[in-house]
Amino acid sequence: MDTQKETDILSNFGETLSELMFDAHLTPEALSKAIGADLSVIYRYLRKEQLPTLQRALAIADLFACSLDYLFGLSHAEPHMTYRPAPPFAERFRTMLAQHGQTRYYLAKKTQFSAQTLDDWYHGKRQPGMESVISLAEHFHCSLDELLGRES
């Protein structure tokens, strides 16, 4: 992912989170408690300095009942849907590879991800960062929620 796109996603996330908190009358302290994050982390999100981990992004999206695409500024319209709890990432990653008839080797050749990174995700040894999740959704031409199994 290029630097400008990363900056845009970081900025969009911070702005959207701020708007969602304002609309819900939720303080940074309350958000911190609700998602189990240090208050300093919440302020880094709001200052557009840091993206959340995958687990925290899911917790935020679940808390506000919004799509991950909306949360990260990849979609401007907020669809009114009910989202399922996301299954383990490794499970969804294997499913997406199978649905698209792709192997980890093919994905390594077509993306910036190393074979080791893909293997770690495939076997559930590590979780991808949000930048990687967004890149994978672009590669598979799907929404973040579809990639992560939240769509009903």
What distance in Å separates the CA atoms of residue 119 and residue 133, rounded to the nearest whole number?
A: 15
State residue 151's pLDDT score. Answer: 87
Residue pair 94/122 in contact by the 8 Å Cβ criterion: yes
State residue 102's pLDDT score. Answer: 97
What secondary structure does DSSP assign to 89-117, as a single string?
Answer: HHHHHHHHHHHTT--HHHHHHHSS--HHH
State residue 5's pLDDT score. Answer: 79
Tens-binned pLDDT, residue by residue, of the chain (152 aa): 567 778 899 999 999 999 999 999 999 999 999 999 999 999 999 999 999 999 999 999 999 999 999 999 998 877 667 899 999 999 999 999 999 999 999 999 999 999 999 999 999 999 999 999 999 999 999 999 999 999 86
Question: What are the structural domains of the chain?
Answer: 3-71 (1.10.260.40), 89-148 (1.10.260.40)
Which DSSP state fits 75? -
State residue 62's pLDDT score. Answer: 94
Residue pair 151/143 in contact by the 8 Å Cβ criterion: yes
Q: Which two tokens stand for residue 77?
A: 């319209």
State residue 18's pLDDT score. Answer: 98
Torsional sign, CA 121, 125, 128, 133: positive
Contacts of 106 (CB under 8 A, 6+ apart): none
**pTM as predicted:** 0.92
State residue 152's pLDDT score. Answer: 64
Residue pair 149/96 in contact by the 8 Å Cβ criterion: no
State residue 6's pLDDT score. Answer: 80
What distance in Å separates the CA atoms of residue 113 and residue 34, rounded to the nearest whole number?
A: 33
State residue 60's pLDDT score. Answer: 97
